[in-house]
Amino acid sequence: MQTLSDLNNNLSFEDFKTEVLNDYRTAVISRECSLLGRREVLTGKAKFGIFGDGKEVPQLAMAKAFQKGDWRSGYYRDQTFMMAIGELTPTQFFSGLYANTNLELEPMSAGRQMGGHFVTHSLNDDGSWKDLSNQYNSSADISPTAGQMPRLLGLAQASKIFRNVKGINTANFSNQGNEVAWGTIGNASTSEGLFFETINAAGVLQVPMVISIWDDEYGISVHAKHQTTKENISEILKGFQRDKHNKGFEILRVKGWDYANLVETYQEAGKIARDEHVPVLIHVLELTQPQGHSTSGSHERYKDAERLEWEADHDCNLKMREWIIESGISTNEGLIEIERAAKRDVREAKKNAWNTFLRPITKEQQELISILKPIAKISANGVFISKIVENLSNIDEPTRKDLLSNARRTLRYLVSETFEEKRKLQIWIDTIIENVQPKFSSHLYSQTQGANIRIKEIKPTFDDEAELVDGRIILRDNFDAIFKNYPKALIFGEDTGNIGDVNQGLEGLQAKYGELRVADTGIREATILGQGIGMALRGLRPIAEIQYLDYILYALQIISDDLATTHYRTKGKQKAPLIIRTRGHRLEGIWHSGSQMGGILNLIKGVNLLVPRNMTKAAGFYNSLLLGDDPAIVVECLNGYRLKEKMPNNLSLVKTPIGVVETIKEGTDITLVSYGSTLRIVEQTAKDLLAAGIDAEIIDIQSLIPFDLNHDIVKSIAKTNRVMIIDEDVPGGASAYILDEILNRQNAFQYLDSAPKTLTAKSHRPAYGDDGDYFSKPSAEDIYEAVYAVMHETNPLKFPKLR
């Protein structure tokens, strides 16, 4: 079903006719998939649907300009494009609609995303890269509006890096940076800040990116007059148009039903972006949406009769059909034959996809019924179990939820009975859950040898007369070694390049490695993250710097919805091992202070969250992460850059293990758990506690996600029988997460002689100045008194009440 030949080549008229008719057939197949897809949702076989009807013809034109090695970053209406490049069949389309969990049958997400979210596979089963330069590539779609835009910027920037940075082995990744990143977005979604941020950044960076705006004048039910100034996005972006004196965008406009002009426009756009590395915006006008926004409603509710009539007349498939007949390429009869065959093929594909989806579940249904029938005969509650069997037998199209729900409810009737048939039921339930749960839960992180948690620790070593240096020097020298040893490594962010970051951890490195590898960016956190995601998807090793921890909130949606889910939503077929460098903790003031930690860590599952207590530990984390496949955030201690540390003699080799805590002081009376800058206060306080007869064990968490994989904290609690978590986050934030891990995951209850305690900051952000810090976050006195109170409760005679 591929339609990739350039119509401007010297084709014979017969070949030209074949090409056009093949395109028309693809458009009809795609439309028929949309129509039948909606019907499947309305009949209950599928849960929800958003389809690409009305956008078929421009997507055919885009596919013709799309070359091997290119990348797509689109949204959920691009099914025709995926069919045209040969990466989506009608059977796969319906398998996605039914949420088939078999990746071979549903290669877009193995049922983890609703239909319409598309991807190509970048990785082999062992996590190694495929030859991305010799295949058509689509980054994994997400639903959040305009969320595909920041990633698009990075996919395009990778071509610029591959073309202009010397020393990179581009095998499997690029052909001299000639690849174009193609983005698609609906006209209403251009109202999002992410769109404008990406447009501005692309114009500054001058990257090979083509953005298609599918314009059907509506955003769900809201007309363009409520969405866009002048009701025309390309009109208001005229200021981005390049001219002979200024770099910028090339802006093209074309009607979405004009097949011939669409093909010509996309060929022109592809050539400009590919040859000149100039971003191009194509405003595709006069499109329609025949079935409305989605299966949740009807567009007849908000479009008047005149608009509906216009849409019927300007349907792109209809207009292409008229053009084919007018051009003498085919007759009405010939097109009817194509249409009938296409509809027949789609119906057969739908049937096959449904039967394939249902077959294994029906088999499990029969297995369960055969187990329950004997149980109903011998159980004292047989009458109730027989009713469950009857209900199960009457379900013509069961789900696994139907099966497990009934099977598990049956066990309630058998709680006081013991016989072999009951045991068979228990085994059946356990087996189904064991086999099926991973279909929905696996691959949040890498499951290959490239998983970050598999990187082995290498401790720092020191000369006898090791020099004491500022922590920033350790970071600087380690980054120097990284850029020397890893040609694909690069770093970028606000103030990262020329001045070597605001804390001088990159001092002098831009002059040494160039402006593309150590780069300054604008103030635009979301697209800084997008640059990193896109480049990581293409095999580079980017480090995206977000200047301060609270600025991550500007990019949290991109981290949470895109980066954190990439490996999961592709079931391990794409990876984006981006490293996010930031800094926070214990700043005296509301901003950059680390108080957001609980919110961040609960929204980024899928990304490692690392909290080193000093810069040697941070350097070790960067060294570990560059060997792994999982993305991560490293939060450096903002007040640690000028603190003195010993310079290791093996700095570039140091590896801080991920998911492993460190006991930095042993003790017998209570386990104190903390991280980051607060840990230094805990260490200082422990000396005062020891003078009072309280011997505290101190554990540095180091890694919040993943958390204490070896369960060393519970081993400490088994010795001390008491635990306190000390954290600078707000109450219920990171401390609640840590306590849940210790009590519910590590099962520490059994060892506790005292109630577990948390000591956190106050509910507000920290106020400014020394007093603001003292009255906002745990102080040495707060820690001392809290620990002392636990010991007083344990032994009031030895530890009389303080106050």
Catalytic residues: 592
Kind plus residue range of the DSSP H or E element containing 254 = strand 250-255
696-700 and 662-665 strand pairing: antiparallel
What DSSP character marks residue 458? B
Count the alpha carbons within 13 Å of 608 in the hemisphere toward its beta carbon.
Answer: 33
Report the DSSP beta bridge partners of residue 241.
249
What DSSP character marks residue 605? T
Task: Say how far apart CA 28 and CA 83 lie, in whole Å.
Answer: 11
Query: Using CA atoms in the order 782, 785, 791, 795, what is the torsion angle rounded to 10 degrees?
Result: -160
Kind plus residue range of the DSSP H or E element containing 759 = strand 757-759
Alpha helices in 206-258 (DSSP H): 233-236
* Nearest by Cα to 207 from 253, 282, 157: 157
Sheet (strand 723-726) strand order? 662-665, 696-700, 670-674, 723-726, 757-759
Tokens at 619, concatenated: 């350097």
Query: Radius of gyration (Cα) for the chain, nearest Å?
Result: 30
Tell me which amino acid residue 219 is: G
What DSSP character marks residue 744? I
137-138 and 703-705 strand pairing: unpaired
Query: Using CA atoms in the order 279, 285, 289, 292, what is the torsion angle rounded to 10 degrees?
Result: 80
Angle between helices 193-205 and 525-537 (to 10 degrees): 70
Task: Say how far apart CA 215 and CA 208 lie, in whole Å.
Answer: 22
* Nearest by Cα to 279 from 440, 153, 99, 170: 153
Report the DSSP beta bridge partners of residue 703.
610
468-470 and 644-646 strand pairing: antiparallel
Tokens at 695, concatenated: 């011997």
Residues 6+ apart with CB under 8 A from 750: none
Give the SS3 label for residue 459: coil
